[in-house]
Structure 1
Amino acid sequence: MAIFKRKTRATDAGPDARNGSTDDADSDAASAKGLRKYAQRKPANTAFKQQRLKAWQPILTPRTVLPAFFLVAIIFAPIGAVLYYFAEQVNEFTLDYTQCSTAPAAPEQAQIPSNKYDYQLHNKNTSNFQPPTWSWNADSRTCNLYFSVPSRLESSVFLYYKLTNYYQNHRRYVKSIDSSQLDGDAVAYNTISGGTCKPVDVDPTTRKIIYPCGLIANSVFNDTFGDPVLLNVAGSNAANQTYVMSEKNIIWPGEKNKYSRTKYTAEQIIPPPYWQGATGEFGFPNGYTEGNIFDPSDNEHFMVWMRIAGLPTFRKLYKRNDNDAMEPGRYLLEVVDNYPVAMFDGTKSVVFSTSSWVGGRNPFLGLSFIAVAALSVLLGLVFTARHLIKPRKLGDMSYLSWNQPETK
């Protein structure tokens, strides 16, 4: 059919038409016109489009390459040493309280198993150190952790909780959130139902919107940590004193801008399922009332939890003290144990740490620089020895592949 007939272009007409060698005079003119149109599609004759820009094309020789290996080592080694040194200056210790319910009832104490705690102090005073102990109060589900601070911890001092085998980076977990709802908007029922918060979107019984919705909010960490109490100061008989730590300023700058008081009314919403049977700051066993609706903009622990972790073992900041040092001595920390971890075979710990200008106690970056420096030195020595023992003639055409003897 004519509708499907494609008009022959000059570039498709064959070599005769392109070369103007046909007998038809009209075809010569059409061919010339087609060739002119074809020539117009070529890139412009500029240095950039025709790839004629000036470029640096170094010729790599042993005289230039071998010193580069040693130069990298000279630069990376001191940087890695500095990073590693200051990372090691950070004091840190961890107490795993997952199995605290097996401890004896208070006021009796039992020593915590050695594989349940870890002290990493650069100036540890063994004369002031006693192994940590614990006791359990079944009525209030409180774990009493008794631990030593062998050396003075200079401010700032941070208290973290640490979870293991907890995959916050799971795809469905990550997307199970409604940012508009957390920003205070009264998101409609039809938008929440079946949306990104599914399956924690609406309550199937009351047909109310779950606020805050989603898997992340529903699984918020709800163990509570009191302030450490200094029971006895090392080397003195001073009275007990509390090391006061703040629960404010534990989030990243600008994080509060994501959260606002909700515009929902109490009749429209219901707490997440796990919150309905919990206690503490995330416990709403009787649901919401007009004077008792969760306000995410006033709870920094919630904001910290909502910034998901990328690895299955992570820690999140709970308290801090930026003004006072933590003196050596024997301390008591009371932990209200609300958060179950047995369902995912995880553990939970409390971590005390200081910091330096390179951050927390993480020697990985410094060791990486040192490893690169060591590898550069090794490669430099190997290639130098190879060049001295069996040098290769530069510009030798016999090494070209087409000059190699054929193998049968």
Structure 2
Amino acid sequence: MQRHYASLTAALAALGTTIALTGCGTSTGSSGDVTLTLIAADYDVNGGQSSKTYWDNLAKDFESKHEGIDVRVTIEPWTGIDRKVAQLVKEGKEPDIAQIGPYADYAAGDKLYSADQLLSIPVQSNFLRPLADAGEQRRVQYGLPFTASTRVLFYNKKLFAGAGVENPPTTWDELRSAAEQLKDAGVSYPYALPLGPEEAQIETMMWLLGGDSNGFVEPGGSYSIDSEENRETLEWVRSNLVEPGLVGPVPPSKLNRKQAFAAFTKGEVGMLNGHPSLLKEAEKAGIELGKVPVPGKKGKPKAAVGVADWIMGFKKREHREEIGKFFNFLFTDKNVLDFASQNDLLPPTVTASEAMEQDPDHADLKEFLVELPTSLLPPVNKTSWGTVSEEIRANVGRAVEPGGSPAKVLGDIAQKAQDAEAQEEE
């Protein structure tokens, strides 16, 4: 998945981002003023108004440059936004624009405009390749990556020094050895392993990639959940980390990412796989942390795990032209960087990523930015992924319990995936 961006960046600079929209004719359902309805997720981890402020300011700026188009924004919490949009779609009341988690079901149901119907050529070409690929169904992009993140291994430098761990781990064996030293030094969570229902699919995928598998699917797109490599990976985790008591007082199946991050900021965790938003929280708590690539079985995994949230344009109200104008405005470097910087996330575009990487104010994100262009995302373009992801979140933690059976747990999840795929084909 390697990609060289220099030529693309030069081409984008030459073309500019003001090329007229391709594939965007006159909006057939509008005459005169148009109001676009937009539902977006709340990213403010402290319960503040930062997401609402961002979208309100963006909408005002856009309206000032596009007479006759108003944007009405509604902010919903992450805990309910996906269900909210699904219900609106079911009732035939979908918004013009939704910034949410899943897009695949809506694309499969022919409810979304494709990217080439909305975006100028430079804007569509500017998405990082792994993110653009993950937004495709049948080689057509419908999901537009709104923001992204990767994962790296965080470690507490003070706890490492106190336990006599000289270097951060680069392999699984080194990780186990460091965890043993941390445990002997009295650290509560030598390695925090969040396989609870919040985000177990991402933690699991990091381990699977480190075990020389392709994660949950083969390159052709078919599920490979219970592959031999995946079974062996979870067997290693169970036998080398969980059963020896190196993962802390909360069983992995009960430990959520949020809990693990909170324990890290309290100085109770020696190591965990974290994403950029943990940086500020750890800094506020006075934790001196280090960051290295997630260790693999024999070294660096074949790819880092990438995660993206999506934004999409719905066809229902036939506002293609206006949605396209808004998206071309949204994906300018300034607007992309404003949101990413505000939330300690990564830009989904080539030019904004390069700008962030060169900005000394974002030096602490370098490890994440380096991983993103070659990252591998979960199979979010499969309409069955929502069901399969739920199964993984609910059950995969049992595979690594003392005496647990990775083969049985992964086999059961694989069967559910097969059933979900079969239902879609009916």
Bin for the TM-score computed over the shorter chain: under 0.3
* Higher relative helix content: 2
**TM-score where L is the length of structure 2:** 0.25
